[in-house]
Amino acid sequence: MSDNNKPQDDAANEDVKAELKGVPEEFLTDDDELEAPEADADMTEALEALRRDLDEAKQEVLYAKADTQNVRRRAEKDVKDARNYAATGFARDILSVADNLSRAIQTIPESLREDEKMKNLVIGIEATQRELEKVFKQHGIERIAAMGLPLDPNQHQAMMEVPTEEQEPGTIVQEMQSGWMIKDRLLRPAMVGVAKKPD
């Protein structure tokens, strides 16, 4: 800066001082006193806070999407279960009818099966039983296998123990009442007698 400009700068400074006369000291700051690094630090801090808020918002959106997907899957499963197992109560009730029909067929003596007058009646009752089992199968209702198998507490209910040497202990040797499944659920356990070693 040349010495020629110094009187002009001094005059300008004097004019500024005259303008600022009466302004309280705390409001007067020199340009040198403005702290740019503090302003930069504040901006950086604010930017970091915004980034944290953005990350939190993204996480919340992901959690909300996951929750929505879980609710949708549960609803789909509930609808599927309702469709698959809607007939459970009715099927449980009709099993006693199937049991009675089966008992009736088993008690028909051989002489009646060969009698010309009763032969058609026996054939009709057996056809009814086959039709009932066919309808059960169409609706996913199936008989549980029991005889000769090891006891499965998820499907069989042991009612008594039968002493025998012919079967391994824990093997089902007698079926008092058939068990049934509807799809993959137990409708009624099979009531069975289980082999045990003789005393």
pLDDT digit string (tens) for 120-138? 888 898 999 999 999 988 8
Q: Which residues does 85 contact at the CB level (< 8 Å), separation at least 6?
A: 182, 183, 185
Q: pLDDT digits over 168-177, tens only?
A: 888 899 899 8
Residue 33, amino acid: E
Q: Confirm whether pTM is higher than 0.75.
A: no
Structure tokens at 3: 């010495």
The alpha carbon of 93 is separated from its chain's Cα centroid by a whole number of angstroms, namely: 29
